Amino acid sequence: MSAYIYILSSGRNGTLYVGVSSDLVQRVFQHKQHLADGFTKKYHVDQLVWYEQTDSIESAIRREKQIKAWNREWKIKLIEATNPYWNDLYSGIL
């Protein structure tokens, strides 16, 4: 079963959120619609700027914890390696 690690942003160089999901489309939709109370709703963090697919939810959780432990600069470099303009990638995964 595939799983995804993803980074959402409030905008270019804005607030970042790292998450994990087995259904990336559904989870990002939930963030965009502000369906769950919490960090992303409070800070309007709803632009998908990076994601990575793994083979299992366990490996996705390990990778998520790794990325969450990184400093902000490393996370920005990760995003800009594949998405230098911080485009919202959501429409590309639909």
**Per-residue pLDDT at 68:** 98
**Per-residue pLDDT at 21:** 98
Residue 66's domain comprises: 3-93
- The CATH number of residue 19's host domain is 3.40.1440.10
Q: What is the mean pLDDT of each run of 10 residues along the chain (94 residues)?
A: 96 96 97 94 97 98 98 98 98 95
* Cα 6 to Cα 32, 74, distances in angstroms: 14, 14
**Per-residue pLDDT at 1:** 86
Judge whether 72 and 13 are in contact, CB under 8 Å. no
Torsion-angle region of 9 (φ positive above 0: left; ψ -120 to 50: alpha; else: beta): beta
pTM of the model: 0.95
CB atoms within 10 A of CB 45: 22
Count of structural domains, the chain:
1
